[in-house]
Copies of this chain bind each other. A is one copy, B any other.
Amino acid sequence: MTVLILTSEEDVTADMVVLRLGEAGVPVVRLDPADLTNGVALSGEYVRGACRGHLSVGGRLVSMNGLRSVWVRRPGDPAARAAHPSAWLTEESSQALYGMLRCTDARWMNHPDAARRARHKPWQLRLAQRSGLAVPATLITTFPQAAREFAERFPDLVVKPVSGAHPQEPPRAVPTSRVAPDADFTAVAFGPTLLQRRIAKRADIRLTVVGEALLAARKPADPDAHPDDVDVRFAPSVSPWLPAEVPPRVAEGVLRYMAGAELAYGAFDFAEGADGIWWFLECNQSGQFGFVEMDTGQPIAATIAQWLAEEGDAGRGCADGDRSTAS
């Protein structure tokens, strides 16, 4: 049974996992969907109620029914590097490749549907609430009046994008910023705005979840930091990430979240408040982990390799029961 990794060629994080799988003697096929029709080929046959699919990469043929797991890391757009790329070819190739992979019984990290759903911030906040995690008071709105009233109830706010990175090429991270006490909310009418109670944090937490394994890292806040420096990605670093214990109640909530989201991998960001509470900020289903592993020495790549290599529950293939008819 083979592990299929969908990612680009220059992905050193994937390299770390491939290395572990190699050490464990687990067969791996690494493939960039961008190379479809140009080094990568596929075929699927539906005859007399049965289905047989194959992938070929660099001349190596793999049966889709023999896939143990699929790791959707950083795949390129299907057929983007074909001899004559086009939107039509990409669409045809995407439907063919992912349509066939969806029919296998492989386990997914993460399944495309779960990954897509997991990106929705409003949905994240609601699932976090329902999972028992502490969520800072949040408003997402296009009503200036709702924003004004929220700022009266919660005077110390930050503003951040609803959707994550700005879709320019390459994508640009939009920093979380503090809202000035006398802010004018008129412009809220021109686009959804996410306002959130600022957590006066004593540390940032990155909790990486792989299956049921929780690997937490903590970075103490700079005691001299200005309260306007709210975004750890843009603040000067005074400490590396250090391994941390996960409070049992948070561990429970996070596993409940992962089950509700049907995710096998998630990178949670929390702000640790002055009261010690871990406040849920977001869960990135494709969050990087290389920098955490480097700082903390936590075996995240090895844990991912282990999950991919396991013979676990079948994934989300087609409906059960084979009631074949003639063809």
Contacts and interface: CB of A to CB of B under 8 A. Distances in A.
B113 A318 contact: no
A141 B79 contact: no
A43 B146 contact: yes
Interface string A47-60: 11111010010000
Given A49-B129, A125-B51, A163-B95, A117 B102 contact: yes
A150 B94 CA distance: 23
Contacts of A42: 140-142, 192
Interface stretch (A21-29, A226-234, A319-327): A319-327
Contacts of A121: 95-96, 99
Interface in A109-139: 113, 116-117, 119-127, 129-139
A294 interface: no
Interface residues of A, number: 87
A87 B256 CA distance: 34
A253 B321 CA distance: 12
Identify whether the interface residues of A are mostly helix, strand, loop, or mixed: mixed
A41 B323 CA distance: 48
Given A46-B135, A83-B190, A96 B140 contact: yes
Nearest to A97: B192
Contacts of A98: 120
A302 interface: no
Nearest to A143: B43
26 contacts: A37-B142, A37-B191, A43-B140, A45-B141, A45-B150, A46-B129, A46-B137, A48-B137, A49-B135, A50-B129, A51-B126, A53-B122, A82-B191, A88-B166, A94-B163, A95-B119, A96-B121, A96-B192, A99-B162, A102-B117, A102-B120, A113-B113, A130-B320, A132-B324, A133-B325, A260-B319
Given A130-B318, A134-B326, A136-B327, 6 more contacts: A44-B139, A87-B167, A99-B121, A130-B322, A197-B327, A253-B323
